[in-house]
Chains A and B, each alone.
Chain A
Amino acid sequence: MAEPLLVVKDVSRHFGGLQAVSHVSLTVHQGCITALIGPNGAGKTTLFAMISGFLKPSGGTIRFCGEDITGEPPHRLARRGIARTFQIVQPFSGLSVCDNIRVGAHLHYRSRDEAGRVANEVGREVNLGAMLDRPANTLTIAGRKRLELARALATRPKLLLLDEVLAGLNPSEIREIVPLIRGLRERGITILMIEHVMQAVMSLADKVFVLAEGRIIAEGTPPQVATDLSVIEAYLGRGAAMRLGAGHVR
């Protein structure tokens, strides 16, 4: 079998004395949606920053498409086909929605017109079609999340890293964006997502990794992970699984 699209092996990162991520290994297979979940402060975003090149790992290796990409800067990774969104949305607020997306499209298209055409297409794909000429800072939070997604998609990624694209959205907005993400997988884009909205993780993810206190404590399909005792304990506190189990018996 060919090597998975992304292989993170034994990666660690510390900030001074704080071990944010320690010896984490995970794999993301071509064409799958892989979710990374875990309590606040587990190191999810740090791990993401290392995969997308914004942080250099203190140890371990990251391989993408069979090549070692450990410590490469973000713009090189973007060229290789890794795109990311930011948990705290980072629009180019002075620019129009279309110009925002065009910056991503320029990665593969030199001409302004061609990049603009791609930006238009991608904008419509994520249902921002009506807002393409509006300044980005007039978008609602849901709109900004879509814009993050559109910009990343405009770089034509092989692997899309989504950092909490659903956070801060209301249930109806979530219902609108979930099919969109599923549609991306159908188009052959592999996705690694950090997500807190469990309902979405359950319905979207093919595989889930659970990170707690900088370590992977469980992995498997969504139902497997949801019933894993160590996962329940990581979220609810030590002994919680036992107490819940006891309650169940009673």
Chain B
Amino acid sequence: MKTFAPILIVVVALAAIPLMVHSNVLLNFLVVALMIALAGQGWNILGGYGGQYSFGHAAFFGTGAYVTAVLQVRYGINAWIAFMLGILGGALVGAVIGALSFRSGLRGSYFALVTLAFAEVLRIVASVAPITGAGVGTLVKLDLSFAALQFESRAAFYWVILTLVAIALVITHVLERSRFGAWLIAIRENEDAAMALGVDTTAVKLGAMVISAAMTAAAGCFYTQYFLFVDSGIAYGTWMSIEALLTPIIGGIGTLFGPLLGALTVRMLGEIARSVTGDAPGLDLVVFGCVLILVVWFMPRGLAGAVADLARHLRRPKHVSATREMSRG
């Protein structure tokens, strides 16, 4: 249980923020950052721990978002149930894409391209299919009530997404320390060696894909409830695939807190870039891109990796001098 302490501390600290800050702008910023973090946590399971780099996590985000919206609007299903079914829907899409690509032995860039293609296909289908509202998108009716999973205060939304992030953190941590996790990491490090040691690599990758897809889908479900609108560009757009992989890569790929750290940093960088460049359209993206290059260049293991290195660096000299003194004494 002791190993869960860091999660508890981080979550409690984050949960306290709305009690101290009442700025809607800041809370809105944090809600979106946590939503991206959740999507990134999903990507991190498959990409960070399993080494399978997906470029198409929008497929899961979008499915979560659409299922939540469409079930409520067209079938009158309760928002909470729609939310759960949205997660299941994302997991199902993950299972299908995973089964197709892993069973045909796709690895590395081929896997990345196939996931990208699936997300694009879904985007195009969603932009013409009548059930999704085609090009117009789907608007969820405003109904500020607990039963409809809509809240007047941003703080309530903030706690909802924080709860989801906390659940994802706990799942990730349990997975990290489980046999399944050990196998998944072994696949990332060397798939052939893992196979020789009795790891059913296809099954393990597929399992990781389903968990990964479910987490990212949950972020999509939340998107619908928060913004009450979804269209094909938002749901299945490449932006989400990129956000989902960028946050863990910046924050620390294959680390527990990487996606959370990355999401907050990336979002903050984006805001700063926007305020620095003022009105010049697109210039903020240039600044943003340059900063990203620098981060990746100087911190190849992400922020979490850099922090760990720093901690070790600070600890080591003491340790060395201590042993020296001992040998001298």
Contacts and interface: CB of A to CB of B under 8 A. Distances in A.
Given A92-B186, A95-B185, A95-B189, A78 B196 contact: yes
Contacts of A75: 195, 198-201
Closest CB pairs A-B (n = 4):
A78-B198, A92-B189, A107-B198, A90-B193
A115 B195 contact: no
Given A75-B199, A75-B200, A92-B185, A103 B178 contact: no
Interface of B: 177-179, 182-183, 185-186, 188-190, 192-201
B195 A54 contact: yes
B140 to A, nearest CB: 43
Nearest to B194: A103
Which one of B178, B183, B190, B193 has the highest number of Cβ atoms from chain A below 10 Å of its Cβ? B193
A79 B192 contact: no
A103 B199 contact: yes
A103 B195 contact: no
- Most chain A beta-carbon neighbours within 10 Å: one of B186, B193, B198: B198
B197 A115 contact: no
A242 to B, nearest CB: 43
A92 B193 contact: yes
Contact of B196 (A83, A110, A111, A115): A83
A239 to B, nearest CB: 41
A155 B179 contact: no
B179 A110 contact: yes
Contacts of A207: none
A145 interface: no
Identify the interface centre among A74, A91, A115, A154: most chain B CB within 10 Å of its CB: A74
A112 interface: yes
Interface in A50-79: 52, 54, 73-75, 78-79
A75 B204 CA distance: 12
B189 A52 contact: no
Contacts of B199: 75, 103
B189 A107 contact: no
Contacts of A9: none
Nearest to B193: A90
A102 interface: yes
A104 interface: yes
Interface of A: 52, 54, 73-75, 78-79, 83-84, 86, 90-95, 99, 102-104, 106-107, 109-112, 115, 151-152, 154-155
A111 to B, nearest CB: 8
B187 to A, nearest CB: 9
Contacts of A104: 197-198
Nearest to B186: A103
Contact of A106 (B179, B195, B196): B179
Nearest to B201: A75
Nearest to B181: A112
Contacts of B178: 112
B191 to A, nearest CB: 9
11 contacts: A75-B200, A75-B201, A83-B197, A84-B196, A90-B196, A92-B194, A99-B182, A103-B186, A106-B182, A106-B183, A107-B197
Given A75-B201, A110-B179, A112-B182, A93 B189 contact: yes
- By DSSP majority rule, is chain B's interface helix, strand, loop, or mixed? helix
A99 B183 CA distance: 11
Contacts of A99: 182
B313 to A, nearest CB: 16
Given A99-B182, A106-B182, A73 B193 contact: no
B45 to A, nearest CB: 17
A93 B194 CA distance: 12
Contact of A52 (B179, B190, B196, B200): B196
A155 B139 CA distance: 55
A86 B194 CA distance: 12
A109 B190 CA distance: 21
Nearest to B200: A75
Contacts of B190: 90-93
Contacts of B185: 92, 95
A75 B308 CA distance: 35
Contacts of B201: 75
B197 A155 contact: yes
A115 B198 CA distance: 14
A52 B198 CA distance: 11
A34 B277 CA distance: 72
Given A73-B200, A75-B198, 11 more contacts: A54-B196, A74-B195, A74-B196, A75-B195, A94-B189, A102-B182, A103-B199, A110-B179, A112-B178, A115-B179, A154-B197
Given A86-B192, A92-B185, A103-B186, A151 B197 contact: yes
A95 B176 CA distance: 13
B73 to A, nearest CB: 45
A154 B186 CA distance: 15
B55 to A, nearest CB: 22
Contacts of A78: 196-198
Contacts of A155: 197-198
A92 B199 CA distance: 14
Contacts of A83: 196-197
